[in-house]
Structure 1
Amino acid sequence: MSKLNIQSFFDQATQTVTYVVTDKATCSTAVIDPVLGFEPSSGKLTSESADKIIAYLDENELRLEWILETHAHADHITASSYIKGKRGGQIGIGEHIKTVQGAFKKIFNLHSELPTDGSQFDFLFEDGEIISLGHLNIQVMHTPGHTPACVSYLIEDAAFVGDTIFMPDFGTARADFPNGSASTLYQSIQKILSLPDQTRIFVGHDYKSDTRDEYAWETTVFQEKRNNIHVKTGTSEADFIRRRESRDANLPVPKLLLPSIQLNIRAGKLPEKEANGVSYLKLPLNMEFGG
């Protein structure tokens, strides 16, 4: 019998899945990839999705220990700092977030206002590091390619893979963000697919597909190896790179990339307020984000 309970929360606006994972014996809990809403027309942040998670924690008398990020997302704003402020917990992310911070510090011309040492987060995880969740262990697996900082979290027979790989009928993540790499992504996916066939994979987003009307976010290593349209068994690295790079060349920039990245590399903390008491984000013009 599994010692792990997994509760999923789907944010329709960003098509993001947040996972609340709990050690049944101790009620120790981790939240993976929480979401804040954002209204671009007004600059207003909203907390509807995050508040549902907080309500779930309270209703089930769960003790929040970890708030885990699989990477610095480009398509939604993290609710990590918001949830920590309400219910505690420690925010963790892969140690290579420092590389991502360095790249976007240059893009947004942030000068000394953005330290690039990862100090905005409580913990920076190394590849293979093991952290505790009650009586359970969470193993951190570095799975770069989509971004250099991407990690997956392995708990019992479950793998929370962020944006590295999606449902079999949708494929894999894009690899055209700064320091992204289709070759590196392929190698990371092979690490995931080397896990036991029965390992459950929980993806970070779902966008349906041409053949599916319902959202879904749980699959298995076996199903991915058999059916993934980009990397099923027998797909060579060269074929994957060619297909991935061709697809990425025609993908639009995520609608929320500019606000998301600026906040997510800060663990969801707002920039320092200016003299008028308001925080501001930057809007670079005619900037290329690929590569």
Structure 2
Amino acid sequence: MPGGTVGRLRPGLSHAYRECRRINARHGRTYFLATRLLPADRRPAVHALYAFARLADEIVDAADVPHRADTLTGLEHALTECLDGDLHGIATPVLVAVADTVARYRIPRGLFADFLASMRMDLTVTDYASFADLAAYMRGSAGVIGLQLLPVLGTDGPTEEAAPFAEALGEAFQLTNFLRDVGEDLDRGRVYLPADELAAFGVDRARLEWAHRTGRHDPAVRRALAHLVSYTRSVYRRAEPGIALLRRESRPCVRVARTLYRRILDEIVDRDYRVLGHRVVVPAHRRLGVALPGLVSAYASRVGTTGPVPARGA
């Protein structure tokens, strides 16, 4: 981090960042592995942003959490207090680390409001008629994550030039998750795959639920999923030019994250789109096969660099 690594921070802040790292390592294996390719001083900020998103996500996904809307509102109020400098009272390690990250990298606070607005949608919205309807949700749940990360990753030019690509990559990751987690989302009462895209192949929510419940491999569902995998690949292609706009030392991390997430799509295809009964994952040996060349590239990008390189606009 600009001004020093986590180990050099005051004890309370160092503990907060270590807690965020623990959450990232436990719950976001692909994300965590890619983050290892960043310079050491940038990783804590990424862990903090991931941990906050995970905290909100767990609130809306936990059926046993009473009054989830109130709990989410409480989280937003606590975040606001921390961002305003009040780190006493209800501040948690994750919020302390996020507040420090926002201040260090001057991340726009409105991005967190947009994110939490999408999280609130998960409390009441259970399906989406079209990609146009889904776009507002994905902007807050995924696009803004890319925008939060941009100041941490740094750009070689104006941040606004890289912003559309960062949003697109976040959306590509989100769409990949939707395809991977169709069965889990059905168990939570949600369908994120647009209804009109499914209907074009004769699929509706009831048919997805039937296939999920019975374990049957439905040809119509397979065709619909194949179409949506193809669409998601096109979003990755749209995001691709943005990697070259990042700081050189950040590119290996983003390339590996992109490749690992695209491999999830490959696994879905290899399993003949059987995603309703179990979660598709990229095997560990394949993840490492992607990450190791990335580590070499990350090291090469830092050769000749003396000391931490501050992000543009940070």
Q: Same fold judged by TM-score > 0.5?
A: no
TM value normalised by structure 2: 0.32
Structure (1/2) with the larger helix percentage: 2
Which has the bigger relative contact order, CA under 8 A and spacing at least 6?
2
Structure (1/2) with the larger strand percentage: 1
TM value normalised by structure 1: 0.33
Task: Choose 1 or 2 for highest CA Rg.
Answer: 2
